[in-house]
């Protein structure tokens, strides 16, 4: 049977039969490409005179206006904030002291009064009153120029917890009862001790609960100063009239002295021929009431007393104490710089400004 050309072409064995599917796939691809091209041309080739329909815009919602904020750059960890920085405790103390306008000379009346009372009570002073007064003021500046509270409450630093002066003066020990009056000792006993408060910069005295006053401090400080300036000695003081006493069995000179309220020195004074080691029973003695008392016999020099005031041996205080005392004395004696006698930065520089520079005070 004869086959037509179309039939023979559709047979798979023929060349056309083998390539027919691929040709048809290519034709379909071309048809799709033509359709896409026609669509693109129809959209993009609209006439220049034709106006394209504008899309309908949605109504705009008004936005809230925010204040302008400048962009902030992140701070570096090592970067320090500009402006005022927190001052150290020591710098604050310096500023406080610099603001205090209390003149050390304002205590002249108290110093004069106390020195007059002690001179009358003891009988003398280590030097003339004006010289002693200058030393007291120099000690006051050195002792309390670092804090205004100390200068106002306890300028001679008598009530510090670590200071032995308070207890000795209150009890009247070590001969201080020869200098102070019982009334003063009772008044000092009512004053509170001043504690030491530790801080990052070392510490300071806390006067927040202090009932100490400048007059009591100055009176006690001068008494402690005179105590260290004094050379004490024992003397015999007679009191009464002569009387006769017959030696008895078992008597000794000491036994007679204690029993008759006298002293061995007084017995020997009125019985110069008596042999204390060979007392004979029935021998008459002349006796007179007497007792031994301690007095201030003489005075040390003032610089030595100041050094002892600061402490001796293991109890010594500031190693630069005498240097500061001498500097304060020079300022007090300098008539052209009387303002330096005030508790002002000029005097405070002796202590705090050295501390700021890293030197021990």
Asked if the structure places residue 109 within a domain, the reply is yes
Do 284 and 268 lie in one domain? The reply is yes
Residue 216 and residue 169 share a domain: yes
The boundaries of the domain holding residue 315 are: 89-232+298-356
Are residues 153 and 114 part of one domain? yes
Handedness of CA 131, 133, 134, 138 (dihedral sign): positive
Question: Does 195 lie in the same domain as 114?
Answer: yes
- The partner residues of 311 in beta bridges, in order of sequence, read none
Domain annotation covers residue 227: yes
Residues 154 and 138 placed together within one structural domain of the fold: yes
Based on the fold, state whether residues 131 and 279 are members of the same structural domain.
no
Answer whether residue 17 is part of any domain: no
Same domain, 168 and 305: yes
Q: Looking at the structure, tell me whether residues 173 and 211 fall in a common domain.
A: yes
- 247 and 267 in one domain? yes
Domain count, the chain: 2
CATH of the domain at 250: 3.10.350.10
Q: How far apart (Å, rounded) are the C-alpha atoms in residues 202 and 149?
A: 17
pLDDT in tens, 218-255: 999 999 999 999 999 999 999 999 999 999 999 999 99
Does residue 118 lie in a domain region? yes
Q: Which long-range contacts (CB under 8 A, 24 or more apart) does 194-201 make?
A: 194/153, 194/154, 194/159, 194/160, 194/161, 195/161, 196/160, 196/161, 196/162, 199/89, 200/89, 201/88, 201/89, 201/90
pLDDT in tens, 60-72: 655 555 555 556 6
User: Are 99 and 176 in the same domain?
Assistant: yes
Same-domain check for residues 136 and 251 = no
Look over the chain and give the mean of its residue pLDDT values, rounded to a whole number.
Answer: 77
Q: Are residues 210 and 143 in the same domain?
A: yes
Has residue 148 been placed in a domain? Answer: yes
φ/ψ of 337, rounded to 5, equals -130, 50
Kindly state whether residue 267 falls inside one of the protein's structural domains. Answer: yes
| Any domain includes 43 | no
- 21 found inside a domain: no
Q: What is the pLDDT along the chain (361 residues), one digit of tens a residue?
A: 445 545 555 555 555 556 556 656 666 666 666 666 555 555 444 444 444 555 555 556 555 555 555 566 665 555 555 555 555 655 555 555 455 555 788 899 999 999 999 999 999 999 999 999 999 999 998 888 667 778 888 899 888 887 889 999 999 999 999 999 999 999 999 998 888 777 776 777 777 778 889 999 999 999 999 999 999 999 999 999 999 999 999 999 999 999 999 999 999 999 999 999 999 999 999 999 999 999 999 999 999 999 998 877 666 778 889 999 999 898 888 853 444 444 433 333 333 333 333 333 3
């Amino acid at each position: 049977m004869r086959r037509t050309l179309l039939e023979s072409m559709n047979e798979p064995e023929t060349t056309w039969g083998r390539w027919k599917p691929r040709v048809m796939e290519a034709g379909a691809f071309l048809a799709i490409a033509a359709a896409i091209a026609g669509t693109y041309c129809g959209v993009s080739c609209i006439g220049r005179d034709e106006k394209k329909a504008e899309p309908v815009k949605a109504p705009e919602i008004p936005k809230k206006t925010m204040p302008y904020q400048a962009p902030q750059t992140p701070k570096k960890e090592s970067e320090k904030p500009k402006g005022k920085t927190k001052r150290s405790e020591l710098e604050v103390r310096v500023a406080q002291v610099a603001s205090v306008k209390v003149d050390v000379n304002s205590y002249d009346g108290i110093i004069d009064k106390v020195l007059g009372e002690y001179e009358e009570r003891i009988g003398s002073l280590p030097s003339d009153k004006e010289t002693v007064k200058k030393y007291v003021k120099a000690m006051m500046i050195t002792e309390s120029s670092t804090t205004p509270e100390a200068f106002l409450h306890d300028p001679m630093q008598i009530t510090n917890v670590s200071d032995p002066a308070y207890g000795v003066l209150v009890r009247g020990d070590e001969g201080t009862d020869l200098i102070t009056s019982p009334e003063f000792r009772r008044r000092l006993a009512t004053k509170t001790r001043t504690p030491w408060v530790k801080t990052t910069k070392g510490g300071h005295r806390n006067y927040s609960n202090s009932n100490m006053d400048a007059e009591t401090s100055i009176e006690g400080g001068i008494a402690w100063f005179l105590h260290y300036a004094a050379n004490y000695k024992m003397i015999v003081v007679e009191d009464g009239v002569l009387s006769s006493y017959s030696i008895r069995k078992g008597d000794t000179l000491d036994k007679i002295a204690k029993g008759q309220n006298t002293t061995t020195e007084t017995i020997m004074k009125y019985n110069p021929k008596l042999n204390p080691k060979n007392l004979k029973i029935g021998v008459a003695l002349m006796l007179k009431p007497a007792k031994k008392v301690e007095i201030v016999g003489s005075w040390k020099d003032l610089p030595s007393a100041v050094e002892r005031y600061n402490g001796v041996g293991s109890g010594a205080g500031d190693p630069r104490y005498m240097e500061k005392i001498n500097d304060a004395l020079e300022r007090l004696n300098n008539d052209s710089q009387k303002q330096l006698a005030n508790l002002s930065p000029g005097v405070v520089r002796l202590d705090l400004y050295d501390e700021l520079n890293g030197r021990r005070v």
